[in-house]
Amino acid sequence: MNGRVALVTGASQGIGRACALELARRGASVALAARNVEKLEAVAAEIRAAGGTAQPFALDVASEASIKAGAKAVVDHFGKVEILVNNAGITRDILSMRMKRADWDDVLTTNLTGAFLLTQALMMQMIKNRWGRVINITSVVGELGQAGQANYAASKAGLIGLTKSLARELASRSITVNAVAPGYIETAMTAVLTDEQKGAMTQNIPLGRVGTDLDIAHAVAFLASEEAGYITGHTLDVNGGMHMA
């Protein structure tokens, strides 16, 4: 990936951080985007210490103005963006009968609308360059559903539909659009689950273990590579066998 420029949202921790580190390890210059710039600086320092190139950018995917300003700042700094990893996401878990409209809107705006707007802000440049990789981080929950996560599941299922639609629109310009659907991955987001919930989820994993952020990062790096140039509109399940489509 030498010479490629990647933008990873939600890069300050968890899956986003792992994706940024892996893309940098493979030679890409990485734009790190999130709301917490201080955490991004730490990730950038880690990449630079290993001989890579990285730059942090404050970007809130729940804000259209922030998305437009952030996309422009990244392009102004690096000159281009060829690989986009839409990873930033939030949860507001509660049963549907008790879910407030704000709980629904916040999750859909961040997880789905933000990914669309950022892709839209960068796709014209990819079209002009006739090369690009867009990788959306969805979830097994978007494929199976989950009680107490109607908003999150809807947003992640929406990302799968968005992935397929954009793949059809952009294919003629050698731009691939794919999704990665993690299963149960040890991250800060899943750390809030109770031991009982974790135990129940692990029992449903044929491989008998929870996943790591590196499991996802390796899948993302493959889809961003030249070797994956004939794959588009696909959702790659990385879930230990929880869901076999």
pLDDT number for residue 189 = 66
CA distance 214 to 208: 17
pLDDT digits (tens, 9 = 90+) for 149-184: 999 999 999 999 999 999 999 999 999 999 999 999
How far from 207 is each of 137, 182, 243, CA to CA, in Å? 21, 14, 12
pLDDT number for residue 103 = 97
4 phi, psi to nearest 5 deg: -80, 150
pTM as predicted? 0.94
Domains of the chain: 5-235 (3.40.50.720)
pLDDT number for residue 202 = 84
- E strands, the chain, are 5-9, 29-34, 54-58, 83-86, 132-137, 175-182, 235-238
Tens-level pLDDT at each residue, the chain (245 residues)? 999 999 999 999 999 999 999 999 999 999 999 999 999 999 999 999 999 999 999 999 999 999 999 999 999 999 999 999 999 999 999 999 999 999 999 999 999 999 999 999 999 999 999 999 999 999 999 999 999 999 999 999 999 999 999 999 999 999 999 999 999 998 776 777 778 877 777 888 999 888 999 999 999 999 999 999 999 999 999 999 999 97
Tell me which of 57, 104, 116, 152 is the catalytic residue: 152
In sequence order, the 6+-apart residues with CB closer than 8 A to the CB of 47 are 20, 21, 24, 30, 53, 54
Q: 82 with 5: CB under 8 angstroms?
A: yes
Is residue 230 among the annotated active site residues? no
